[in-house]
Structure 1
Amino acid sequence: MRIVLSLLVLPFLAVPAMAQSDSDIVRAAIDDVFRPAFADFNAATGALESDMEFLCEAPSVQRATAARAQFRETVLSWSRAELYRLGPLLEDNRSERILFWPDRKGVALRQVQAALAEQDETATSVESLTQKSVALQGLGALEFVLFGTGSEALDDGADYRCRFGLAIAGALHQVAGELDAAWQAPDGIAKRLLQPTEGDPEYRNQREVMEDVTGLLAHGSEIIRDQRLLPFLGREGERSRPRSALFWRSNMSVPSALANFEGLDDLFTRSGIGAVDEENEWVSNGITFELENAVRAGALVTDPVAEALDDPEQKQALDYLVIVTQSLDTLLGENLAAARGLSVGFSSLDGD
């Protein structure tokens, strides 16, 4: 199955020519990046819940196909937003409830298979499901319901499996609604970022805010490499493992990683953080160049992961994406931060 992302055909935005103040950058990031991204994710999960409800009401191949298609759209929407790891996304285990990953021990798969085998009715309502393990509540669990072993039964009726999937979709929409509301709230995270105070444990001044926003870019490239690409490509000397890829069942492994790059590009360009003084213009140009390289390389990967890894051209393109993230690590985490007089610390995720 071949999947083409919109980001592969849309040109990257030009970096603003005039440098903006830190407060202007933060405001633009909030209004033009964070709020739209989480609003889009909220809308996508709402459509997913509706499609799952329609499927459960009257199972058919057409309705199952629609639900699977909306799942893929939801994955893309999440992937564009998930690297904005600050504020509401880091509270109440929201990130893990949406996507329990990395899952090195296969916890989610075991729990989802157990729920399906036992037909655990407490996993078929949003209220009771959200009291269970986060591994049962998110996109990984729903992917198995829609695409995993036995999922073909959804096409002509699989009552428990569908109700379980509907509950997961409802839980996702609930969390997405919380995120959207938190970013839209006038007295919430937006105010904290725009009006830092000495009493705030995280954002005492504008510099700390800017370091967090810049850190999203630097740590984002690390996450793409260490948690999205290397698990299935293998580190140096390791063999490829296509079934270690996130979203391999739905053929969304590479599209979701490319949507991650799109999320980084949106933050870099729309916020104006890349507009630096003339002396450091090479930094912004380099970042734009590497983000464009990611798009070009990603366009060459048209097959599911297993087939792509067996094709020399596609495998080379995937390996090149890793090289792009390494270059972005330096450009974003060191050069851009230095150009703005900031210090970006280590990621809270080890990525091992």
Structure 2
Amino acid sequence: MKHLAACLAALTLATPIWADVDQALQRHILPGFEGFADAAQALQKTAAQDCRADAVAPAYQTTFDAWMTIADLRLGPSETGALSIAFWPDKRGFTQRSLSQFIADQDPAAFDPALYSQVSIAARGLFALEMLIFDPDFADYGPDSYSCALVRAVSVDLADQAVALDQAWQQDFAATLRSAGAPGNTTYLDQSEALRALYTQLLSGLEFTADQRLGRPMGTFQQPRPSRAEAWRSGRSLRNVLLSVDAAQALAHRLTDADLPETDAAAARIHALAERIDDPGFQNLTQPQARLHAEQVQQAVRAMQEAIEAEIGTPLGIAVGFNSQDGD
């Protein structure tokens, strides 16, 4: 299953009694967005008190952990809202260039939240903040510096985005999914479409993990690209892989009340294989043994995709629909 977008098919079983969109929302998705908003607001308060890199870093890690619970959901308000929260892959280094320009110009947008919400997405969100507080070229700043003010600005903007995204899901889009097939719902014409949408997100997230979170830094055997790893500066590339797998496993269990032994075994194998990886930032992938271990994790992630298809997709008659993370 190389490109999910190629698999445009319908749901053949309308509403199986054990396919539960509401439980997925109530017990996984909505708590995830709420938790992310809470964490981002705590990060903002931390930065307001002390915006230096060492002071902000722990709250940043907690916020990124919370984000990973719902990071791979790219539908509804998240289809566009996630782009300025997590601008990655950054194939042309726009974040570094944007932040460097901000600092060089002492851009006044850093002192005006309304202005900052309109700047390039490359200078916003988790990856802009990561560069400011973890990259040696940016992180050595004092408490009264412009860079410190910029950290505060990105933190305020991130918290505002997190709250807005949470509210959009809680107050609007959750009802759209729940009311699939009801009069006036033009997004999902029947309940099967809502189920297929969430199922698509589930598999798309795992595909993104295999192809991007693992595949990008692996590059080729002749030319690995460790600096293309997600969040390598903060040393959480492997953690993001595992958290994305955990989120997929949790969502899978919320979409059905059937047992998922193959899916659970695949997730456990991913965690077991990940223990062999020495560098959580994937910076040692130039070494053949390190690359082999990453390849094994990648293969296990693909096996988890296949397990979910066998244990959820096939029994429910679901084929995957289009997802915004698919394709080129």
**Do both share a fold (TM > 0.5)?**
yes
Show the 5 A alignment for 1:23-102.
25-56=20-51, 64-90=53-79, 93-102=80-89
Matched with 2:244 is 260
2:265 and 2:284 map into 1 onto residues whose CA distance is 25
Q: Which of 171, 193, 198 is the equivalent residue of 1:208? A: 193
- Cα distance, 1:89 vs structure 2: 1.0
Whether 1:21 and 2:18 are equivalent positions in the alignment is: yes
Give the partner amino acid of 1:244: R
Alignment equivalent of 1:273, drawn from 256, 259, 274 = 256
Call closer, same or farther: CA 1:191–1:152 in 2, change over 3 Å. closer
CA contact (8 A) 1:217 1:268 kept: yes
- Give how far 1:305 is off: 3.0
The equivalent of 1:338 in structure 2 is 314
| Equivalent in 213, 222, 229 of residue 228 of structure 1 | 213
Q: How big is the shift at 1:266?
A: 1.4
Q: CA deviation at 1:317?
A: 2.7
The residue aligned with 1:5 is: none
Q: Provide the C-alpha distance between the structure 2 equivalents of 1:77 and 1:125, rounded to a whole number of angstroms.
A: 26
Q: Deviations over 1:170-199 (max 9, x none)?
A: 1111111012222322xx222211111354
The one-character-per-residue Cα deviations of 1:129-165 (angstroms, maximum 9, x if unpaired) are 11111111111111111112344433x4352101111
Unaligned 5+ residue runs, structure 2? 1-15
Name the structure 2 match of 1:180: 166
Superposed, 1:158-173 pairs within 5 Å as 158-173=144-159
- CA distance in 1 between counterparts of 2:87 and 2:196 reads 27
Match of 1:300 among 276, 279, 284: 276
Amino acid at match of 1:145: L
CA offset digits 1:288-347 (Å, max 9, x no partner): 111111111223334243554256654433211210222233333466312111221243
Indicate how the Cα distance of structure 1 residues 169 and 37 shifts in structure 2: closer, same or farther if over 3 A, else same.
same
Does residue 264 of structure 2 align to residue 288 of structure 1? yes
What is the identity percentage for the equivalent residue pairs of Structure 1 and Structure 2? 27
Superposed structure 1 runs of 4+ greater than 6 Å apart:
none
User: Contact between 1:107 and 1:135, CA under 8 Å: does it hold in 2?
Assistant: yes
Q: CA deviation at 1:115?
A: 1.0
Residue 193 of structure 1, aligned match among 173, 177, 180: 177
Cα distance, 1:219 vs. partner? 0.8
d(CA) in 1 for partners of 2:46, 2:87:
23
The answer on whether the counterparts of 2:74 and 2:201 sit within 8 Å (CA) in structure 1 is yes
Structure 1 partner of 2:4: none
Partner of 2:117: 130
CA, structure 1 residues 274+313, in 2 after alignment: closer, same or farther (shift >3 Å)? farther
After TM superposition, the score normalised by the length of structure 1 is 0.82
TM-score normalised to structure 2 length: 0.87
| Separation in 2, partners of 1:126, 1:252 | 28
1:242 corresponds to which residue? 226
- 1:218·1:329 contact (CA, 8 Å) conserved in 2? yes
> Are the aligned partners of 1:228 and 1:246 in contact in 2 as well (CA < 8 Å)?
yes
Q: What residue number does 1:6 align with? A: none
> What is the identity, as a one-letter code, of the residue corresponding to 2:78?
L
The answer to whether the Cα contact below 8 Å between 1:42 and 1:173 also exists between their aligned partners in 2 is: yes
Aligned residues: 312
